[in-house]
Amino acid sequence: MTEAEIKIIASNRKAYHEYTVGESWEAGIALTGTEVKSLRSGKCNLSDGWVEISGYIALLRDVHISPYTHGNIMNHFDKRPRQLLLHKKEIVKIQRAVESQGMTCVATKIYLCGQRVKVEIALAKGKKAHDKRESNKERDSNRDIRRALKR
């Protein structure tokens, strides 16, 4: 897909602060009709989203998709677990990394790719307090360098 066909709905900036993000995958997501309509209007929060793997099924947990405003009594629950559509090999690879290396799998981005809703998930390792301070210093120094070059 080209850049013009992708519309980012929500991104998880908290994940990049709390974790060191590694390998990532694009996954489809099984949604109901009102969830898609709510996502198209941008009503999503990924800040607590993570992926649980049980068997060969990957579930997206704790992602808040607000109920559709024009929905009826058959509207969706806002924090229900949603199945991710991944290949079996990808699920096994994620599961091995989570179990053996002590990593976690977080949702980093949700976006529209043409007519479909896609989720970017990534393996992540938790940062310690000193790592967070160091990354903040690095970000501040890079910002100062960009400002100096701009002038």
pLDDT tens profile 63-88: 998 888 887 777 778 888 999 999 99
Q: What is the pLDDT at residue 2?
A: 61
Q: What pLDDT, in 10s, does the model give residues 95-122?
A: 999 999 889 999 999 999 988 999 999 9
Tokens (6 digits) for 31:
């949604």
CATH classification (class only), 7-150: mainly beta
Q: Where are the beta strands (DSSP E) in 114-145?
A: 116-126
CB of 22 closer than 8 Å to CB of 123 = yes
User: In the prediction, which pLDDT does 82 show?
Assistant: 93
Element counts in the chain: helices (H) and strands (E): 4, 9
State phi, psi for 85 to the nearest 5 degrees.
Answer: -100, 95
Predicted model pTM: 0.82
